[in-house]
């Protein structure tokens, strides 16, 4: 039974990784400069994070997408501000923080496995992963900053000028 659960975990992980590598958004991505020109829209930013051999992390923007509409604030769920998670800050032209989002550590996701014994949660350790963030663009957000939360501080990984 233990071997059966291990194979389920491997199949699920392979499926998740294959889905993540087929990012169709990058092919029809919007230029980053168009994000600030569009008002009253939803902006999706797609990122890739990679851990180097030395342990440092590098984030790069892989795609953007803009759609009409708006997100209700109640539909955006924030995670806990714990070490390892990412803090996404949306800034105006003067550098003032307008909104913040927290994303669970994309390099160490928790995979839930359903087996005959019940539900088990396994923490994965990846060297490369993708994540995305969405926000309402009302014309006031001009920068997006991604920071890694540590025990003592926050380390800026990337700052995008929209």
Q: Which backbone phi and psi does 124 adopt, to 5 degrees? A: -95, 155
- Considering the entire predicted model, what is its pTM? 0.73
Number of structural domains in the chain: 1
Helix (H, G, I), strand (E, B) or coil at 18: helix
92: containing domain: 2-161
Instruction: Give the CATH number of the domain where residue 92 resides.
Output: 2.60.40
Residue with tokens 């029809």: 28
The pLDDT of residue 133 is 94
> In the predicted model, what is the mean pLDDT of the chain?
81
pLDDT at 140 over 50: yes
Tell me the residue ranges of DSSP E strands in the chain: 41-51, 57-68, 86-91, 97-103, 110-115, 118-123, 128-137, 143-149, 154-161
pLDDT-derived band at 3, boundaries 50, 70, 90: very low
- Between 35 and 135, whose confidence is greater? 135
Residue with tokens 């990784």: 17
Distance CA 32, CA 27 (A): 14
Distance CA 113, CA 141 (A): 39
Instruction: Provide the token pair at 4.
Output: 């059966």
In sequence order, what are the residues at sequence separation of 6 or more whose Cβ sits closer than 8 angstroms to the Cβ of residue 30? 64, 65, 66
Q: Which backbone phi and psi does 33 adopt, to 5 degrees? A: -70, -25
The pLDDT of residue 53 is 87
Average pLDDT over residues 47-74: 89
The pLDDT of residue 75 is 52
């Amino acid at each position: 039974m233990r071997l059966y659960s291990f194979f389920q975990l491997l199949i699920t992980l392979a499926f998740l990784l294959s889905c993540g590598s087929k990012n169709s958004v990058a092919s029809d991505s919007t230029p980053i400069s168009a994000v600030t020109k569009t008002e009253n829209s939803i902006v999706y930013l797609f990122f890739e994070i990679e851990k180097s051999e030395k342990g440092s992390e590098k984030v790069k923007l892989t795609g953007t997408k803009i759609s009409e509409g708006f997100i209700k604030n109640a539909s955006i769920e924030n995670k806990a501000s714990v070490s390892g998670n990412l803090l996404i800050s949306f800034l105006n032209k003067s550098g003032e923080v307008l909104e913040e989002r927290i994303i669970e550590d994309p390099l160490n996701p928790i995979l839930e496995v359903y087996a005959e014994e019940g539900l088990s949660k396994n923490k994965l350790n990846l060297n490369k992963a993708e994540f995305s963030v969405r926000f309402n663009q009302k014309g006031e957000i001009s920068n997006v900053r991604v920071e890694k939360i540590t025990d003592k501080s926050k380390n800026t990984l990337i700052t995008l000028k929209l």
